[in-house]
Chain A
Amino acid sequence: MSPSVAKHRTQSRWRAAMVRLLQSRMAAGAGLVLALVVLAALLAPWIAPQNPYDLASLDILDSKLPPGSLSGDGSMRYWLGTDEQGRDMLSAILFGLRISLYVGVLATLGALLVGTLMGLSAAFARGWVDAFIMRIVDIQLALPGVLIALVLLAILGKGVDKVVIALIVGGWAYFARAARASAMVERDREYMEAAVCLGFGRGRQLLRHLLPNCMPPLIVIATIEFAEAIAAEAALSFLGVGVPVSEPSLGMLTANGFDFLMSGRYWLCLFPGMALAIVILSFNIVGDRYREIINPRGER
C-alpha cells in the first residue's frame, strides 16, 4: 500500500470515528464545552478582564466582593466576585484553567511516555526484567496515584514542575501495564519477526514497529488518566502540596476558597470548583463515548 493511500485510509478512519463520536448528543455537547474551555484557557491573557498575577492591579479594598459587584473605582464589574486579595474571580479562574490544563496535559503525556516505554521494554525483554518491572507496577497500582504523588511532593516541595513529576510517578503504572499487555500480543506477530529478519536493531523494532501497533488502547487510557490527573492536581492543591499560591490552579483556588464557605462567601470556592468539575466532567463524557466506540461494550 503506498504511503498516500495509507494516509488517506487513516484520515477517513479518524473522520468516521469523529462522526460517530458526535452522534451522541451528550458527547457532542460535552465536546463543545471542552473546546470552549480549551479556547478560554489559551486566550486567557487576552480575554481576562484583569491579570490576577499582577499584584499592582489588585485593590485590597475590593476584596471579598460578591458576584456582580462593581469595583471601588467603578472601572470594572466583578462578574464572579473577588477573593480575599481583591482578585477578580473570573480572571483567576481563566488563568487557573491554564495551569490546571497545562499540568494535566504534561502529566498525562509524561506518564504515557514513561509507562509505555517501561511496559514495552518489559514485554520485549521478557525474563526477570519483565518480572521486576511488573512487580513494581503491581505495587504501585494497589495504591491510589494521589497518595504516591502526595508523598513525593512532601519531599520535593512546591512548584508546578514538581507537581507534574509527582503526577507522572503516580500515573505511569497504569500505562505500563496496558502497554505490556498490548506488546505481549503484538511481539509474537509476523511483522515483528519480519523486522528481526530484516536485521533491524532492537531499538528500531521497538519504536517503529511495536509501538505504533500498541497505541490504540493506550490512547484510551490516556483519556482516562487526563481527567484523573486534573482531579489529582486539584486534590493535591487542596491538601496544600500542589502548585504555589502565586500561580494558582483551579484546585488551589478552590482550596483557598474553602475557608470562606462557612462565612457565606461561597463564590471564592464554588466557582473555581465548578469550572474544575465542568472540565473534568466534559472530558469524561467525551472520553467515555470515545472508549465506547473503540471497544463497544454491547450497550445501547
Chain B
Amino acid sequence: MPAFVLSRLAQAAIVLLAVSALVFVGVFVIGNPVDVMINPMATQAEKLAVAQSLGLDQPMWMQYGRFLEGALHADFGRSFLAGQPAMQLIFERVPATLELAVTAILIATLVGVPLGLYAAVRPDAWISRAGMGLSIVGLSLPSFWIAIVLIMVLAVWAGALPSSGRGETRELFGIPWSFLTIDGLKHIVLPALTLALPKIALLARLTRAAATEVATSEYMQFARAKGLRRSRIVGVHMLRNLMVPLITVIGMEFGRLAAFSVITESIFAWPGAGKLLIDSILQLDRPVVVAYVMVVVAFLVLLNLLLDLTYGVLDPRIRLQARAA
C-alpha cells in the first residue's frame, strides 16, 4: 500500500511540474514577460529597474528555474493590486470557498441520492417521474439563472434570506468559518442551493441509472431468493455496490465545486477564491491567476489520489488488484 501511495504522489509531482511549465510558457507567450512580475502601470524606468533586479533579462529557462524555486516555496510573487503575496491572498479566501462547496455537495448528496434510489426502486411513482423530468431542468439551466430566480423569490419577494455576501464568522482551529453562526448559515443558503441544484439533478440521475443496473443483477435476485427483507436488500446489497461509482462522482463534483464556482461566487459577492480568480483575470492580476492555477491543480490531483485510495476500501476486487500490482 505505501508503495502505491508513493508512486501516485510521484505521478502527482510530475503532473504539477508539467502544468507549471505550461502555465509559465502560456504566460510568456500571451503577454510581455515583464508584466508577469511587474505592474504594467509602472513607468518605463521603474519597469527597467525592476526587470533587471528580478533577472528578467536572463534567458527563459533561467527565469523558469527561478519561478520553480519560488513555486516550491509557494511563492508566486505579489498581487499587483493588493500588494500581498498571491498565495496568501488565495489561502485567505479558501475557507469561504470550501464552506460553500461542502455545503452544496452535502445538500446535493442528501437530496439527490435518495431521490435516485427511490426512482430506481419505484419508477412509476409520481415523485420519481417528476424528479427525473425536473432533472433535465436542473441540468440545463445556467447557474446564474438559478441564482437570479432564487434571489428573486427568496431574497427580494420573500425577504427571508440575504442575497449577497458572507455572514458572520466564528473561529475554529484558528480559521474563521461562517457556518458556525446563524447569520452565516443564512448567507450560505442561497449560494449553496444555486450550486447544489444541478448536482442534485446529476446525482439523482446517476444513482437511478446505477441502482437500476444493480437491481437487475443476479445477486439481487439471489438475495431475494434467500428470503432477505427488502430493507436489507436495498440498504446493504444495493447500496454497497453503488458506493464506488457514487463516491467517485461525489468526490469529483466536490472538487469541481471547490475549484470552479466562480460565477456563483460573483453573483452572490461571496468572498471566496473563485471570486478572487475572476477579479484577477478581469484585472489582469497575473501572479494571482498563476498561483490559483497551481493550487487548483495540486488540490485536484490530491483529491483524485484520495478517491483512488477510498475505492480500495470500498470494493474488495480492486484491493486484490492493487495488492497484485
Direct contact between the two chains A and B in their complex (CB within 8 A): yes
Using a CB–CB cutoff of 8 Å, the interface residues on chain A facing chain B are: 26, 139, 142-144, 146-147, 150-151, 154-155, 227, 231, 234-235, 238-241, 254, 258, 261-262, 264, 266, 269-270, 273, 276-277, 280-281, 284-285, 288, 297, 300
Q: Which positions 230-275 of chain B face chain A at CB distance < 8 Å?
A: 256, 260, 262-263, 266-267
B139 contacts which of A143, A277, A284 (Cβ < 8 Å)? Answer: A284
Beyond contacts A238-B266, A266-B156: 8 other A-B pairs, Cβ-Cβ < 8 A, are: A146-B262, A231-B142, A241-B282, A258-B267, A277-B145, A281-B140, A284-B136, A285-B136
Interface hub of B136, B142, B281, B289 (most chain A Cβ within 10 A): B142
Is B152 at the interface (CB under 8 A from chain A)?
A: yes
CB pair B140 A261 closer than 8 Å: no
> Cβ of B281: which chain A residues have Cβ within 8 Å of it?
150-151, 154
| B119 vs chain A, min Cβ distance (A) | 11
A280 contacts which of B140, B148, B151, B152 (Cβ < 8 Å)? Answer: B140
CB pair B143 A235 closer than 8 Å: yes
CB pair A235 B144 closer than 8 Å: yes
> Cβ of B30: which chain A residues have Cβ within 8 Å of it?
155
User: Complex formed: what's the CA distance from A89 to B284 in Å?
Assistant: 34
**B interface, over-half SS:** helix
User: Complex formed: what's the CA distance from A264 to B157 in Å?
Assistant: 8
Is B123 at the interface (CB under 8 A from chain A)?
A: yes
| A283 vs chain B, min Cβ distance (A) | 8
> Cβ of B284: which chain A residues have Cβ within 8 Å of it?
154-155
Top 9 A-B residue pairs of the complex, sorted by shortest distance between their CB atoms: A231-B142, A284-B140, A154-B281, A144-B260, A238-B144, A281-B140, A280-B140, A277-B145, A273-B145
CB pair B260 A280 closer than 8 Å: no
Interface hub of B136, B148, B256, B267 (most chain A Cβ within 10 A): B148
CB pair A150 B145 closer than 8 Å: no
CB pair A273 B148 closer than 8 Å: yes
B266 contacts which of A154, A239, A254, A281 (Cβ < 8 Å)? Answer: A239
User: Complex formed: what's the CA distance from A142 to B123 in Å?
Assistant: 34
Is B125 at the interface (CB under 8 A from chain A)?
A: no
Closest to B123 in A: A300
User: Complex formed: what's the CA distance from A154 to B280 in Å?
Assistant: 10
Interface hub of B140, B151, B263, B266 (most chain A Cβ within 10 A): B140
**A interface, over-half SS:** helix
B22 contacts which of A139, A235, A269 (Cβ < 8 Å)? Answer: A139
| B167 vs chain A, min Cβ distance (A) | 18
A281 contacts which of B123, B141, B256 (Cβ < 8 Å)? Answer: B141
Closest to B263 in A: A235
CB pair B282 A277 closer than 8 Å: no
User: Complex formed: what's the CA distance from A176 to B264 in Å?
Assistant: 29
CB pair A142 B300 closer than 8 Å: yes
| B276 vs chain A, min Cβ distance (A) | 14
Q: Which positions 133-160 of chain B face chain A at CB distance < 8 Å?
A: 133, 136-137, 139-145, 148-149, 151-152, 156
> Cβ of B156: which chain A residues have Cβ within 8 Å of it?
261-262, 264, 266
CB pair A254 B163 closer than 8 Å: no
User: Complex formed: what's the CA distance from A238 to B147 in Å?
Assistant: 12
User: Complex formed: what's the CA distance from A261 to B139 in Å?
Assistant: 24
> Cβ of B163: which chain A residues have Cβ within 8 Å of it?
262
CB pair B142 A240 closer than 8 Å: no
CB pair A146 B148 closer than 8 Å: no
Is B278 at the interface (CB under 8 A from chain A)?
A: yes
CB pair A254 B144 closer than 8 Å: yes
> Cβ of A154: which chain B residues have Cβ within 8 Å of it?
281-282, 284
B148 contacts which of A143, A239, A254, A284 (Cβ < 8 Å)? Answer: A254
| A291 vs chain B, min Cβ distance (A) | 12
> Cβ of A240: which chain B residues have Cβ within 8 Å of it?
282
> Cβ of B151: which chain A residues have Cβ within 8 Å of it?
261
**Per-residue 0/1 for B33-45: is the Cβ within 8 Å of any A Cβ (1 yes, 0 no)?**
0000000000000
| A159 vs chain B, min Cβ distance (A) | 16
User: Complex formed: what's the CA distance from A287 to B109 in Å?
Assistant: 27
CB pair B278 A239 closer than 8 Å: yes
User: Complex formed: what's the CA distance from A155 to B29 in Å?
Assistant: 12
| B235 vs chain A, min Cβ distance (A) | 24
Sample (17) of A-B pairs whose CB atoms are under 8 Å apart: A139-B19, A147-B262, A231-B142, A235-B263, A238-B263, A239-B278, A241-B282, A254-B148, A258-B267, A270-B152, A273-B149, A277-B142, A281-B140, A281-B141, A288-B136, A297-B209, A300-B123
User: Complex formed: what's the CA distance from A74 to B284 in Å?
Assistant: 48
| A29 vs chain B, min Cβ distance (A) | 12
> Cβ of A150: which chain B residues have Cβ within 8 Å of it?
262, 278, 281
CB pair A277 B141 closer than 8 Å: yes
> Cβ of B289: which chain A residues have Cβ within 8 Å of it?
151
User: Complex formed: what's the CA distance from A264 to B141 in Å?
Assistant: 23
> Cβ of B149: which chain A residues have Cβ within 8 Å of it?
273
CB pair B140 A227 closer than 8 Å: yes
| B23 vs chain A, min Cβ distance (A) | 11
User: Complex formed: what's the CA distance from A163 to B141 in Å?
Assistant: 20
Closest to B140 in A: A284
